């Protein structure tokens, strides 16, 4: 049985929804709890799939994870952490990229780790070579095993001087989670500095870690012998907030996103303003709306923070398909993040994807045959169609296109959207969308 969402388009989304803790921080803060010698409390935890996956992986390793029935806060107690069998771990890995971040904490807690093959969005190859190189530099031994990798550290983890070839979010987190309890000092050069990373550093500092974020993407960590627990409220999900902002533009709607935080979204806000979107920035959230009239096209490049976040790109492309003129988007973070535009083209959008770098900076993908630049001409009326959700943000993009389209769309595979959008069908209903959720046996 799978879920099918029937969308009757043409209704502007209007109303108030809220976003909670970030998908790109919460599961990692849960993993960090494994480094402590006493319980941690994590607040503002959303009900999303990646939280379920990490909960079951931690529980398999003997960590007690208790959810407060009223608030949803999680209490994580790592004091009885233990080894789990690789077949059990494999069965609980789910469609998430977080398991690779268990390496350092599990080595510190129980001396070894088995990490299953990773899930996550299919938007490029997504290798883990940086992670494995980092672990080896800390002195870990990495072995390929059926269904994943085994990691051990016969002499413990030792601080190291590490330089990342690209400011990878996950590899930076790998360094942080391994170095805080490693012996000696770690210096990381070429670090990612996304707001979710700074929030993870705040979590680790509460536990007793000594971490300095210096200029020029350098992070210095002085290893400590032990860490305690933390009490932390996760930063809000800026990527979900930006998705709803694009939904407001695409459907000519008006959405107040409670919890959206200006300081984490400044680059998005600048772009939204340049397109001609309306907004009111309040203390408790941001109202995003279509002010009427025409939207302006623009030239945009995704990049690591503080650049324009790649996860904002897909929903925004739908908005650009409704702008008056030609826009160019150069995707420089993932080599294959424009596959979702095929369904948009079927719906009537006018989008061509190109192999060349159509941006001011030649990127890693330019000479390598990847279709990573898009030219979008608008405005193009959209019509409903059959859609099978390809990945998290691509799926959300298809959905907002369907909500703006004339006619009816039938959307399958919507469970993927639960990886990053908490209760999204309830939110759609709260915004007045004309949708029905049903289950189909697939016959
Ligand atoms: C759970 C989570 O937080 N996911 C986010 C995280 O993903 P994730 O941490 O997986 O993304 P990375 O920042 O690591 O990836 C960036 C680039 O580095 C490359 N790379 C990465 C690791 C590696 O070992 N080798 C390698 O070549 C990737 O293929 C990609 O081209 O940051 C991305 C970039 O902001 C976001 O889109 C994802 O939403
Ligand atoms: C790419 C994404 O997530 P993940 O790294 O979890 O696949 C995303 O959130 O858009």
Q: For residue range 217-273, what is the model confidence (pLDDT) as tens digits?
A: 999 999 999 999 999 999 999 999 999 999 999 999 999 999 999 999 999 999 999
Q: Which residue has the tokens 């608030």?
A: 71
Ligand 1, atom 8, lies closest to the CA of: 170
* pTM over the 0.95 mark: yes
Question: Sheet holding 278-281: strands in order across?
Answer: 14-18, 254-258, 285-289, 278-281
CB 308 within 8 A of CB 274: no
**Annotation says 121 is catalytic:** yes
Other CB atoms closer than 10 Å to residue 312's CB: what's the count? Answer: 24
Per-residue model confidence (pLDDT) at position 91: 65
CB 346 within 8 A of CB 290: no
Starting from the CA of residue 370, give the closest ligand. Answer: 1
Give 169 Cα–ligand 1 centroid separation in angstroms: 5
Ligand 1, atom 21, lies closest to the CA of: 168
Starting from the CA of residue 194, give the closest ligand. Answer: 1
**ipTM (interface pTM):** 0.99
Residue 120 alpha carbon, nearest atom of ligand 2? 7
Per-residue model confidence (pLDDT) at position 201: 98
Q: How far, in Å, CA of 407 to CA of 118, rounded?
A: 38
CB 327 within 8 A of CB 301: no
Give 121 Cα–ligand 2 centroid separation in angstroms: 5
Q: What is the CA radius of gyration of the chain?
A: 22
Give 193 Cα–ligand 2 centroid separation in angstroms: 17
CB 144 within 8 A of CB 99: no
Residue 311 alpha carbon, nearest atom of ligand 2? 10
Please name the CATH architecture into which domain 2-19+236-440 falls: Alpha-beta prism (3.65)
CA distances from 405 to 10, 318, 381, 388, 392 (A): 6, 11, 7, 16, 20
Q: In the 8-state DSSP scheme, what is residue 157?
A: -
Tokens for 273, please give them.
């303003």
Per-residue model confidence (pLDDT) at position 360: 85
Give 171 Cα–ligand 1 centroid separation in angstroms: 8
Tokens for 72, please give them.
């949803």
| HEC readout, 295-361 | CCCCEEEECCCCCECHHHHHHHHHHHCCCCEEEEEECCCCCCCCCCHHHHHHCCCEEEEECCCCCCC
Q: How far, in Å, CA of 337 to CA of 313, rounded?
A: 9
Q: Where are the domains of the chain?
A: 2-19+236-440, 26-233
Per-residue model confidence (pLDDT) at position 351: 98
Per-residue model confidence (pLDDT) at position 81: 86
Q: How far, in Å, CA of 1 to CA of 211, rounded?
A: 48
DSSP per position, 269-302: HHHHHHHT-EEEE-SSEEEEE--SSPPPP-EEEB
Q: Is 121 close to ligand 2, i.e. is its CB under 6 Å away?
A: yes
How far from each other are the two terminal CA atoms of the chain, in whole angstroms?
Answer: 10
Binding site feature residues for UDP-N-acetyl-alpha-D-glucosamine? 97, 311, 333
Per-residue model confidence (pLDDT) at position 84: 78
Other CB atoms closer than 10 Å to residue 180's CB: what's the count? Answer: 27
Starting from the CA of residue 305, give the closest ligand. Answer: 1
Fold match flag (2-19+236-440 vs 26-233) = yes
Ligand 1, atom 29, lies closest to the CA of: 126
Residue ranges of the chain with per-residue pLDDT less than 50: 443
In sequence order, the 6+-apart residues with CB closer than 8 A to the CB of 1 are: 439, 440, 441, 442
Question: What is the dotted CATH code of the domain comprising 26-233?
Answer: 3.65.10.10
CA distances from 238 to 1, 19, 245, 420, 422 (A): 32, 8, 10, 11, 13
In sequence order, the 6+-apart residues with CB closer than 8 A to the CB of 282 are: 256
Identify the bridge partners of residue 189 per DSSP, sorted by sequence position.
163, 218
Planar angle of CA 225, 226, 229, nearest 5 degrees: 160
Per-residue model confidence (pLDDT) at position 93: 67
Tell me which long-range contacts 60-64 makes (C-beta under 8 A, separation of at least 24): 60/84, 60/88, 60/89, 60/92, 61/34, 61/102, 61/106, 61/109, 61/110, 63/33, 63/34
Question: Sheet holding 218-222: strands in order across?
Answer: 161-163, 185-189, 218-222, 210-214
Give 386 Cα–ligand 1 centroid separation in angstroms: 30
DSSP per position, 38-99: S-EEEES----HHHHHHHHHHHHTT-EEEE-TTT--EEEE-TT-----HHHHHHH-TT-SGG
Q: To test the ligand 2 pocket, which listed residue (94, 311, 337, 394) has its Cβ within 8 A of the most ligand atoms? A: 311
Binding site feature residues for phosphoenolpyruvate? 23-24
Identify the bridge partners of residue 98 per DSSP, sorted by sequence position.
none
pLDDT 10s digits, 17-73: 999 999 999 999 999 999 999 999 999 999 999 999 999 999 999 999 999 988 989
Ligand 2, atom 2, lies closest to the CA of: 121
Per-residue model confidence (pLDDT) at position 202: 98
Per-residue model confidence (pLDDT) at position 92: 66
Q: Alpha helices, DSSP H only, in 119-263?
A: 129-137, 169-179, 195-207, 238-250
Per-residue model confidence (pLDDT) at position 443: 45
Ligand 1-lining residues (CB < 6 angstroms):
24, 97, 124-131, 166, 168-171, 192, 310-311, 333-334
């Amino acid at each position: 049985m799978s879920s099918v969402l029937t969308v009757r388009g043409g209704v502007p989304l209007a109303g108030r929804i809220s976003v909670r803790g970030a998908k790109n921080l919460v599961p990692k803060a849960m993993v960090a709890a494994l480094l402590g010698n006493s319980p941690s409390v994590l607040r503002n935890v959303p009900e999303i799939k990646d939280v379920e996956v990490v909960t079951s992986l931690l529980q398999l390793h003997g960590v007690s994870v208790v959810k407060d029935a009223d608030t949803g806060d999680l209490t994580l107690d790592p004091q009885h952490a233990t080894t789990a069998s690789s077949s059990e771990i494999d069965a609980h890995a789910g469609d998430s990229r977080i398991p690779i971040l268990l390496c350092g904490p599990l080595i510190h807690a129980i001396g070894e780790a088995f990490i299953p093959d990773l899930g996550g969005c299919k938007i490029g190859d997504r290798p883990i070579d940086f992670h494995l190189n980092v672990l080896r530099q800390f002195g870990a031994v990495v072995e390929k095993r059926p269904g994943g990798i085994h990691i051990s550290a016969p002499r413990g983890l030792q601080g190291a001087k590490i330089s990342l070839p690209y400011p990878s979010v996950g590899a930076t987190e790998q360094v942080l989670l391994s170095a805080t309890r490693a012996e000696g000092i770690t210096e990381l050069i070429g670090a990612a500095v996304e707001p979710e990373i700074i929030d993870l550093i705040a979590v680790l500092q509460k536990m007793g870690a000594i971490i300095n974020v210096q200029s020029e993407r350098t992070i210095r960590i002085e290893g400590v012998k032990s860490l305690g627990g933390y009490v932390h409220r996760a930063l809000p999900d800026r990527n979900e907030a930006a998705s709803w902002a694009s939904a407001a533009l695409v459907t000519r709607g008006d959405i107040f996103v409670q919890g959206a935080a200006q300081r984490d979204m400044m680059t998005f806000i600048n772009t939204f303003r340049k397109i001609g979107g309306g907004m009111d920035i309040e203390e408790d959230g941001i109202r995003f709306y279509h002010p009427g009239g025409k939207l302006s096209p623009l030239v945009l490049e995704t990049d690591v923070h503080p650049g324009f976040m790649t996860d904002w790109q897909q929903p925004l492309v739908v908005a650009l398909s409704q702008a008056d003129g030609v826009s160019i988007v150069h995707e420089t973070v993932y080599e294959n993040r424009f596959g979702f535009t095929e369904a948009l083209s079927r719906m009537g959008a006018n989008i061509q994807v190109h192999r060349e770098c159509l941006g001011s900076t030649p990127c890693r993908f330019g000479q390598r045959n990847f279709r990573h630049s898009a030219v979008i001409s608008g405005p193009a009326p959209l019509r409903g169609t059959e859609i099978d959700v390809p990945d998290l943000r691509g799926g959300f993009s298809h959905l907002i296109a369907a909500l703006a389209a004339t006619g009816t769309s039938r959307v399958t595979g919507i469970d993927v959207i639960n990886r990053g959008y908490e209760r999204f069908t309830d939110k759609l209903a709260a915004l007045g969308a004309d949708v029905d959720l049903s289950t189909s046996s697939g016959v």
